């Protein structure tokens, strides 16, 4: 395997046309995200869906219901939901890293992977890793085997990610596609390479200011086109022709930008409807923008969350939530001795996207 080398088939006429279209849609997404009163509402929303679908690519399957319960109850009853929780934590950790350092380094990537896998194994140090066809068991790719070779290639990738003086004329969306391919082929870890690679995608776009926060939901497109995704990567490996693969990744950026814009519009509309109902129709004396934000922070909530979010007593929190159930803004549920509340409209937006 070679270090990154920019070739003519990475900047064909077809690629440059599609880059322009994808960049415009990404800029539209960046602008519309600012219409959400609290960016963390959207970050939570997208992170949960990205985590669920990125994990599904690795055959880690969970339902929305299991996932939300994982986040409101301390002890998970579902292993896959715990895996998705790890993914969300890794995304947040990566986001903090690039905000604080304005870099995405090998150490940062290793930290992301360690959160995903809950171990500190780090970069592969033993040979023998092979990528197999899941159906036939045949070897389809053998990544670099020695730790020395992996570290050399990883260092080259790190430089490509962070050094804007390298290939300054190369568009960042093309760079993102190259970074993703190179990382997947280096396959630096024993486990978690796919999910780590998909986190790198959206962190890179945020690092390069194409987004203000990592809210692009790329895994949806990849999971819907899973076989084509693997086929395009395999084609690059066999032919060194990047054009079909880069076009695929640009389509992913465009389509998921459109999809995320639609999600933002639905959330904004629903928040305004709930705000209008609480403030203007019902004229509830405890209305505040913070209350609206709290109700949309997660689809599932509980008394303790609202208590902490609004800095009110537990009794007052329970009163608010139960009253909102009476007005069909929330619904009340029990799991064993635990009571929780669902923002059904918000939950439906996520489960139907």
Point out the residues that are catalytic.
187
- The end-to-end CA distance of the chain, in Å, is 38
β partners of residue 333: 340
CA distance linking residue 293 with residue 38, whole number of Å:
7
Angle 211-213-217 from CA coordinates, rounded to 5°: 80
The reply, when asked if residue 74 is annotated as ligand binding, is no
The reply, when asked if residue 336 is annotated as ligand binding, is no
The reply, when asked if residue 343 is annotated as ligand binding, is no
The reply, when asked if residue 229 is annotated as ligand binding, is yes
The reply, when asked if residue 194 is annotated as ligand binding, is yes
Q: Quick one: tokens of 92? A: 């947040």
* 170: number of Cβ within 10 Å: 15
Total length of the chain: 353
Nearest in space to 204 (alpha carbons), one of 102, 323, 111: 102
Nearest in space to 220 (alpha carbons), one of 25, 21, 70, 45: 45
Residues 6 or more apart whose CB falls under 8 angstroms from that of 352 comprise none
The reply, when asked if residue 198 is annotated as ligand binding, is yes
Helices 106-117, 193-207: inter-axial angle, 10-degree rounding = 130
The reply, when asked if residue 128 is annotated as ligand binding, is no
The reply, when asked if residue 169 is annotated as ligand binding, is no
The reply, when asked if residue 297 is annotated as ligand binding, is no
Residues 6 or more apart whose CB falls under 8 angstroms from that of 269 comprise none
The reply, when asked if residue 191 is annotated as ligand binding, is yes
The reply, when asked if residue 195 is annotated as ligand binding, is yes
* 117: number of Cβ within 10 Å: 18
Residue 102 backbone dihedrals phi, psi, to 5 degrees: 55, 30
Angle 89-96-107 from CA coordinates, rounded to 5°: 85
Distance of CA 309 to the CA centre of its chain: 24
Q: Quick one: tokens of 342? A: 């669902």
The reply, when asked if residue 315 is annotated as ligand binding, is no
Q: Which residues are annotated as a binding site for ATP?
A: 58, 187, 191-198, 229-230
Q: Which residues are annotated as a binding site?
A: 58, 187, 191-198, 229-230
């Amino acid at each position: 395997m070679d270090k990154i080398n920019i070739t003519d088939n990475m900047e064909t006429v077809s690629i440059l046309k599609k880059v322009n279209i994808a960049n415009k849609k990404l800029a539209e997404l960046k602008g519309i995200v600012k219409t959400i009163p609290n960016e963390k509402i959207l970050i939570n929303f997208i992170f949960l869906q990205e985590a669920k679908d990125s994990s599904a690519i690795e055959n880690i399957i969970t339902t929305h219901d299991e996932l939300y319960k994982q986040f409101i109850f301390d002890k998970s009853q579902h292993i896959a939901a715990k895996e998705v929780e790890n993914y969300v934590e890794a995304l947040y950790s990566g986001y903090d890293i690039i905000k604080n350092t304005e870099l995405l380094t090998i150490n940062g990537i290793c930290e992301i992977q360690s959160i995903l896998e809950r171990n500190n194994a780090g970069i592969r140090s033993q040979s023998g890793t092979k990528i197999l066809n899941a159906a036939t068991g045949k070897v389809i790719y053998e990544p670099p085997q020695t730790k020395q070779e992996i570290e050399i290639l990883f260092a080259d990738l790190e430089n490509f990610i962070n050094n804007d003086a390298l290939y300054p004329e190369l568009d960042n969306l093309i760079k993102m596609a190259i970074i993703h391919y190179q990382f997947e082929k280096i396959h630096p870890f024993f486990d978690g390479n796919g999910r780590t690679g998909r986190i790198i995608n959206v962190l890179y776009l945020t690092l390069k200011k194409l987004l203000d926060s990592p809210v692009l939901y790329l895994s949806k497109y990849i999971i819907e086109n899973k076989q084509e995704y693997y086929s395009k990567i395999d084609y690059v490996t066999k032919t060194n022709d990047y054009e079909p693969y880069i076009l695929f990744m640009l389509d992913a950026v465009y389509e998921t930008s459109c999809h995320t814009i639609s999600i933002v519009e639905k959330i904004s509309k629903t928040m305004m409807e709930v705000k209008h109902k609480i403030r203007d129709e019902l004229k509830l004396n405890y209305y505040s923008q913070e209350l609206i934000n709290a109700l949309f922070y997660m689809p599932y909530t509980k008394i303790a969350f609202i208590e902490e979010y609004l800095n009110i007593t537990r009794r007052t929190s329970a009163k608010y939530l139960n009253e909102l159930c009476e007005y069909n803004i929330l619904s009340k549920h029990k799991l064993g001795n635990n009571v929780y509340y669902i923002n059904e409209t918000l939950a439906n937006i996520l489960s139907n996207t």
